[in-house]
Amino acid sequence: MGERIFIEGNVAIGWGAAMAGCEAFFGYPITPQNEITEWFAHEFPKMGRIFIQSQSELGSINMVYGAAAAGVRAMTSTSSPGWSLMQETMSDMANAELPGVIVNVQRGGPGGGPIRHAQQDYFQCTRGGGHGDYRNIVLAPASTQECCELVQLAFYLADKYRNPVVVMSDAIVGRLRETVEVKKIEFGRVPDKEWAVKGKANHKDGKRRLVEHAGDLFARYPSYQSLLQRLEQKIKQMQESELRYEEYRVEDAKLILVAYGYTARVAKEAVNMARAEGIRAGLVRLITAWPFPYQLIREKAYQGLGFLVVEDCLGQVVEDVRCAVEGHTEVHLVNILDRHISTDGGMILPDRVFDKIKEINE
Amino acid sequence: MSKEAKVVTKELVAGRPKLLVPQTAGFVYCPGCQEPLTARVIAEVLEEMGMGGQSIGVFDIGCNSFLLGMLDIDAVLTPHGRPPDMATAIKRVHPDNIVFTVQGDGGLLSIGADPLMGVLTRAEKITIIMQNNAIYGTTGGQMAPTSLVGQKTTTTPKGRDINIAGFPAHAAEMIASFKGVTYSARGAFNTPANYQRTKRYVKTAFQKQMNKVGLSFVEVLCACPPNWHLSPQDCLKWIKEKMIPEFPLGEFKNVNRIE
């Protein structure tokens, strides 16, 4: 049993990273993730680990690139506009095959947007985000406990695949205070980082190491095609092995809700309200937003089940669900326009989702 | 005398640093380009200091990225403009290594201005080596922050106009003005004497880094014959008559302590 403490999701990210053996954190101020950067500023120097307040989000992600190239577990956190700035280097990390963890505590957009909660970065997180062909595993915590656990998983998966891994949070999950059991999770061995730079004389074989993101230019791969084949193989392996989701009351369900993050908590509450009135609703909660459970949703669609996506944006997850059902069933949506009030403080609440469930059930 | 014999003779006279990798698969640099001399200087200095096995080079995108293929040391290639960020993280992880960047003028002063400001204000204990050829070389000769007033480039076809494109940026002087900097100098490769002077600057810069006081910087004027549309020999003349008056050579800061 680990220590149980009452903290918010953003702080739980910090404890999770510390448990995972993260050695370096780089961050730039942006709301609503400042608690993460501040946690590292307070705790990491005490642990003898590296904390740098970077000069920009570009700086943060490029320092992650550097620290990863030097062979340590490194991470950064940001919110939506900063996330956009990081995309070029994330693409470079995918090419250079560098592990790293990037936390995106989503806020509203487009543009500067409001600094409060939203879930509008699903496309950008799950499609790579930067230029070129690559994918990141995207983990979506829905509780403070999960913030602590998924960031640990993120470090493991990043090392396993030598690829950036994204933790896609949102301002509500990030600022939500809950009791968390802080404990280290063992995931098993990851390959040694014999490719990392540390000075030629410090390698067992005494040969130089080169970390680069050109692929074939410096003969890491014999050709551009072979680099792309490697990336494709990696993407397929991640899709086959790393899909994670939670099924809640789906066994006998006729309507399946699909959601992640804070709206998954809302959807779960709405499922309970529906069940109390005898409506057979269930929930598929995405734990990995990528890989996405296309197969599961397709099977349920072929059984004739209906779908209701609950997400705090105009509609992004809903496109993946529509893609998965292949036109076999209707896909409904409760979106950001269904918030309880029209200001940026508005939320999608269980009542509204329940109303929609009843409307579909009629 | 055969061509091969001539090369052997030169190497016998000038020596060849062991850290300089023979370019067996062909030489990527244009005839008369002086950027490979930066690699040679670094190789000679690291060898003299006995630090080749304890150094990590961080190279930017651009012509200078090929230098990482010429040096037999651990190296990292970065997205355009970002070497100071990488060097920051690598130095913090491996504080006993010599960590240096090699960048162009555009890569440091234009797209790389953000990480440059970052390392200068944080006083990172790294060394930055900037190659100033007054132009964007790899992309075919566009205007750089260091292009001279009136200099014709593909994006200033009538010459750099101060009303539209402003004035050349002076990196060594600007960087010397930062408190967290221990050393800032500008050298050139246009004469053997300047080559030796530049080598001394690089050695001092690395030594300052090993003393862990602050950031050290060396700017090097480099010829770019194809984009200057000059012969290699005329390039040397252009450096002497046009570049050095604009970018004076010498040390602009040299301190052992920062208070």
HEC profile of chain A: CCEEEEEEHHHHHHHHHHHCCCCEEEECCCCCCHHHHHHHHHHCCCCCCEEEECCCHHHHHHHHHHHHHCCCCEEEEECHHHHHHCHHHHHHHHHHCCCEEEEEEEECCCCCCCCCECCCCHHHHHCCCCCCCCCCEEECCCCHHHHHHHHHHHHHHHHHHCCEEEEEEEHHHHHCEEEEEECCCCCCCCCCCCCCCCCHHHCCCCCCCEECCCCCCCCCCCCHHHHHHHHHHHHHHHHHHCCCEEEECCCCCCEEEEECHHHHHHHHHHHHHHHHCCCCEEEEEECEEECCCHHHHHHHHHCCCEEEEECCCCCCHHHHHHHHHCCCCCEEEECHHHCCCCCCCCCCCHHHHHHHHHHHHC
Interchain CB contact of B68 with A (< 8 Å): yes
In a domain, A78, yes or no: yes
pLDDT > 60? residue A218: yes
Are B82 and A65 in contact (CB < 8 Å)? Answer: yes
Amino acid at A72: V
- Indicate the Cα dihedral angle A236, A240, A246, A252, nearest 10°: 120
A59 CB contacts (<8 Å, ≥6 apart)?
A: A26, A28, B85, B114, B115, B118
pLDDT at residue B4, as a whole number: 56
**CB spacing of B121 vs A50 below 8 angstroms:** no
Determine the residue type at A279: I
Any domain includes B12: no
Q: State the Cα–Cα distance between residues B245 and A207, nearest whole angstrom.
A: 43
Are A164 and A258 members of one domain? Answer: no
Q: State whether A54 and B54 contact (CB < 8 Å).
A: no
**Count: domains in chain B:** 1
Question: What are the chain B neighbours of A71 within 8 Å (beta carbons)?
Answer: 93
**pLDDT tens for residues A317-361?**
999 999 999 999 999 999 999 999 999 999 999 999 999 999 999
Residue B19 belongs to a domain: no
A316 pLDDT more than 70: yes
Q: What is the model's pLDDT at position B1?
A: 47
Cβ neighbors of B183 (< 8 A, separation 6 or more) are B204, B205, B208, B216, B217, B218, B251, B253, B254, B255
**Residue in chain B nearest A196 by alpha carbon:** B74
**Cβ neighbours of residue B7 closer than 8 Å, sequence gap 6 or more:** none
Quick one: pLDDT at residue B69?
Answer: 87
Q: Report the alpha-carbon distance of residue B71 to residue A52 in Å, rounded.
A: 30
Contact between B93 and A213 using a beta-carbon 8 Å cutoff: no
Which domain-ending residue is among A164, A182, A200? A182
Please give the pLDDT value at position A29.
97
The domain of A289 spans: 245-361
Residue B15 has a pLDDT of: 81
A143 and A281, same structural domain?
Answer: no
Classified as helix, coil or strand, B181 is: strand
Residue A212 lies inside a defined structural domain of this protein: no
User: In this structure, is residue A284 part of a structural domain?
Assistant: yes
CB pair distance less than 8 Å for B89 and A23: no
Q: Provide the shortest C-alpha distance from residue A218 to chain B (in Å).
A: 7
B15 located within any domain:
no
pLDDT tens for A155-208 read 999 999 999 999 999 999 999 999 999 999 999 999 999 999 999 999 999 999
**pLDDT higher than 70, residue A149:** yes
> Is pLDDT at A42 greater than 80 in this prediction?
yes
Q: Which domain holds residue B94?
A: 28-138+165-253
User: Which chain B residues have a beta carbon less than 8 Å from that of A62?
Assistant: 78-79, 82, 85-86, 89, 115
The mean pLDDT value for A109-117 works out to 93
Query: What is the three-class DSSP state of B239?
Result: helix
Overall size of chain A counted in residues: 362
Work out the mean pLDDT of chain A and round it to a whole number: 96
Note if the bond before B83 is cis, omega within 30 degrees: no
Q: Looking at beta carbons, which residues of chain A come within 8 Å of B82?
A: 58, 62, 65, 89
Q: What is the CA radius of gyration of chain A?
A: 21
Q: Which of B52, B55, B87 sits opposite A66 (nearest CB)?
A: B87
Q: What is the DSSP code (8-state) at residue B130?
A: E
The amino acid occupying position A237 is Q
- d(CA A181, nearest CA chain B) in Å: 30
Same domain, A112 and A261: no
B234-237: long-range contacts, CB 8 A cutoff, minimum separation 24: B235/B32, B235/B34, B236/B190, B236/B191
The CA-CA-CA angle for residues A196, A213, A230, to 5°, reads: 90
Residues A162 and A260 in one domain: no
Residues of chain A contacting B56 with CB distance shorter than 8 Å: 70, 197-199
- Type of residue found at A84: S
Chain B residues within an 8 Å CB radius of A69: 76, 86, 89-90
Cβ–Cβ below 8 Å for B85 and A63: yes
Residue B16 domain-assigned?
no
| B19 touching A (Cβ < 8 Å) | no
Q: Where are the alpha helices (DSSP H) in chain B?
A: 3-14, 35-49, 83-93, 105-109, 113-122, 162-165, 171-176, 192-210, 225-228, 232-238, 244-246
What is the C-alpha separation between B82 and B218, in angstroms, rounded? Answer: 17
Picking from A278, A212, A286, the residue whose alpha carbon sits closest to that of residue A243 is: A286
- Chain A CA closest to residue B72: A208
SS3 of residue B226 by DSSP: helix
Q: Flag if B86 and A214 touch (Cβ within 8 Å).
A: no
Q: Is A230 contained in some domain?
A: no
A90/A166 same-domain check: yes
- Residue B22 inside a domain? The answer is no
Q: What percent of chain A has pLDDT over 70?
A: 99
- Nearest by CB to residue A62, choosing from B54, B79, B93, is B79
Mean pLDDT of A274-295: 98
Instruction: Identify the domain boundary among A182, A201, A233.
Output: A182
Tokens 């954190």 found at: A25
Residue A319 falls inside a structural domain: yes
Q: How many CB pairs under 8 A join A and B?
A: 135
CA distance A324 to A301: 8
Residue B49 belongs to a domain: yes
Q: Return averaged pLDDT per consecutive 10 residues of chain B, 259 residues in all.
A: 55 82 84 96 97 97 90 96 98 98 97 98 98 96 97 97 97 98 98 97 98 97 97 97 98 95
Residues 6+ away with beta carbon under 8 Å from A350: A266, A267, A269, A270, A273
What is the separation, in whole angstroms, between the first and last Cα of chain B? 59
> Would B17 be classed as within a structural domain?
no
- Signed CA dihedral, B118, B247, B66, B38: sign only: negative
Same domain assignment for residues A253 and A148? no
| The residue to which tokens 């304890």 are assigned | B54
Q: How far is CA B224 from CA B127, B194, B235, in A?
A: 24, 17, 7
| Residues A173, A291 within the same domain | no
What's the CATH code of the domain at B193?
A: 3.40.50.970
A56 and A173 both lie in a single domain: yes
CATH number at residue A109: 3.40.50.970
CB–CB contact B69 A70 (8 Å): no
Question: Does any domain span residue A260?
Answer: yes
* Distance to chain A for B127, nearest Cα, Å: 15
Which residue of A58, A206, A218 is in closest CB contact with B69? A218
The token pair that represents A104 in the structure block: 């995106």
Both A18 and A143 in a single domain?
yes
| CATH number of the domain to which A321 belongs | 3.40.50.920
Q: Which residue, A133, A153, A182, sits at the end of a domain? A: A182
Domain count, chain A: 2
Q: Is residue B57 part of a domain?
A: yes
Q: Which amino acid, one-letter code, is at B211? A: N
**Looking at residue B34, what DSSP letter applies?**
-
Q: Does B111 touch chain A (CB under 8 A)?
A: no
